[in-house]
Chains A and B, each alone.
Chain A
Amino acid sequence: MSTDDQMSTNTGHAEIRAIVVDDDADVREIFIELLQMNDIKVVANGINGKEAVELYKMHHPDFVFLDYLMPEYDGLYAIEQIREFDPNGKIILVSGSHFERNVLGDTVKAIIKKPIEISEIFKAINRITLTT
């Protein structure tokens, strides 16, 4: 990924507000840094599904970047709770495995596989913004 790509992909996304939820501190922190570098404002972050729901209700973000496998309250819990609260909630699942695709169907707007490729993130954001 080059800087030029970032410049071209992130134009028009300056106002995006997001929350990041991942139980892995290193993954979470560097991902947030990368998003902020690309003008996505990360308003809050959490470590499990329960925190994701609380943060969503508190901040009403444009996007939720959500991990799937987390201790106690996992991504599925967050997806169900957030959709109940806001059926149009834009959840992007950022995960390590394939099996979520079968489980989740269209309950999430996109599934991004780790290692996170920032250009994939922007592709997803663009697609979701255009279709809604």
Chain B
Amino acid sequence: MTLQPKELGIKSSDEWMVSNELKELDAAESELVEKEKHLTMLTNESFSKMKEVSKINRDLQNRIKSLQELSASLNRKNDELKMANKELERKTILNDQVSLELKEKLERVTQKEKELSMQRDFLTRRLDETTQDLVKAEKFAIIGELSARLAHDLRNPLSVIKNTMDVMSAKQNMKIEERLQHIARFKRAVQRMSHQIDDVLDFVKKTEMMLHQVSLRSIIDSAINVILIPPNVKIFLPSNDVSIMCDSRKLEAVFSNVILNAIQAINDNGEVKIRVMDIGTHVKIEFEDTGSGISVTAMQKIFDPLFTTKQTGTGLGLSICKNIVEQHGGTITVKSPPTIFTITLPKNM
């Protein structure tokens, strides 16, 4: 608005109108300024708000971006996992296949194992049968040899009886001394025959074991009681004693057989020492004699049935002893010289 100063002093209605209008203009102008100010302020305010919003927006955008990134990475991870899963599935399938194959193979192995076990059982049976056959055959062979030997051995005392009878019936008037000599021959012949028959029977039959706890000393004592000890034979008994589970009657037969052998080995003149040794789970019994000893060749066969170095022996005594000791789960061995028979027996068979 342009004011004209020359018109200021003239107060006319026009002037008044103008001044009024001017006043109104000024008011309007200041109002405008005010409004402008307000607007500017508002503008500023909105500007800063906008700034703020845009900052928030930026932030949000940033967040979105990072979320997007995160999502992308998650996706990636997911993909990877998917891949891994696929791979795993593939592997699982493969594994299943392998497992199936293994299962089949295992079944085959089991089958083979079964077959092998059957074969083994069959072979074991065959072996047992063959062994039994062999044992039987060997036993038959031994029994065959045994009966031939028994027949032979019985013929000797039989011959003595027959010839003594011949002589006695030919010589009717015989002196009493001579008669007694012949009677002694009869007696010896009969004794030998019954001894030979007994030995063979003992060898052939294997009786059941009657087990009980018995003191070895008592068995040794009764074994000695059944033997007629010659006057020049000294027997040394063990000072100690051990009780074991055994068939005392059978062991008594073993001990008396071994002691009798020892007495014969020293020709009824010398010493026989018996020792008992406790060696924990087992017990050892030794029989030592003062005889001249046994030859190496005789020692190798000494426990074989029918082996004998004696004129009237059946060759069965020590073989029977070995059978009995083995029936007890023990062993019998010999070494010489000096001749020592060692019997080892378990205390609790």
Contacts and interface: CB of A to CB of B under 8 A. Distances in A.
Contact of B170 (A6, A23, A31): A6
Interface in B134-153: 148, 151-153
B163 A30 contact: yes
Interface in B151-201: 151-164, 166-167, 170-171, 182, 185, 188-189
B261 interface: no
Contacts of B312: 24
A25 to B, nearest CB: 8
A1 B166 CA distance: 7
Contacts of A113: 155
Contact of B311 (A24, A95, A97): A24
A97 B148 contact: yes
Report the interface size class on chain B: 20 to 34
A104 interface: no
Contacts of B162: 115-117
A70 B333 CA distance: 27
Nearest to A32: B163
A8 B75 CA distance: 139
Nearest to A26: B160
Contacts, number: 70
A86 interface: no
A132 to B, nearest CB: 27
Contacts of B166: 1, 34, 118
Interface string B312-343: 10000000000000000000000000000000
Contact of A71 (B153, B167, B171, B309): B309
Interface residues of A, number: 26
A14 interface: no
Given A69-B152, A114-B159, A115-B161, A34 B167 contact: yes
A131 interface: no
Contacts of A116: 159, 162-163
A43 interface: no
A29 to B, nearest CB: 8
A71 B171 CA distance: 34
B163 A115 contact: yes
A114 B161 CA distance: 11
A26 B157 contact: yes
Contact of A31 (B154, B163, B189, B311): B163
A115 B152 CA distance: 10
Interface string A88-120: 000000011101000000000000011111100
A111 to B, nearest CB: 13
Contacts of B154: 96
Q: What 6 A-B pairs come out closest when comparing CB atoms? A: A96-B152, A96-B155, A114-B155, A115-B159, A115-B162, A114-B159
30 contacts: A3-B170, A6-B170, A24-B156, A24-B160, A25-B311, A27-B156, A30-B163, A30-B164, A30-B167, A31-B159, A31-B163, A33-B163, A34-B163, A34-B166, A34-B167, A37-B170, A37-B171, A71-B311, A96-B153, A96-B154, A96-B155, A96-B156, A97-B151, A114-B158, A115-B158, A115-B161, A116-B162, A117-B162, A118-B163, A118-B166
Interface of B: 148, 151-164, 166-167, 170-171, 182, 185, 188-189, 309-312
Given A27-B159, A118-B163, 8 more contacts: A30-B163, A34-B166, A37-B167, A37-B171, A95-B152, A99-B148, A115-B155, A118-B166
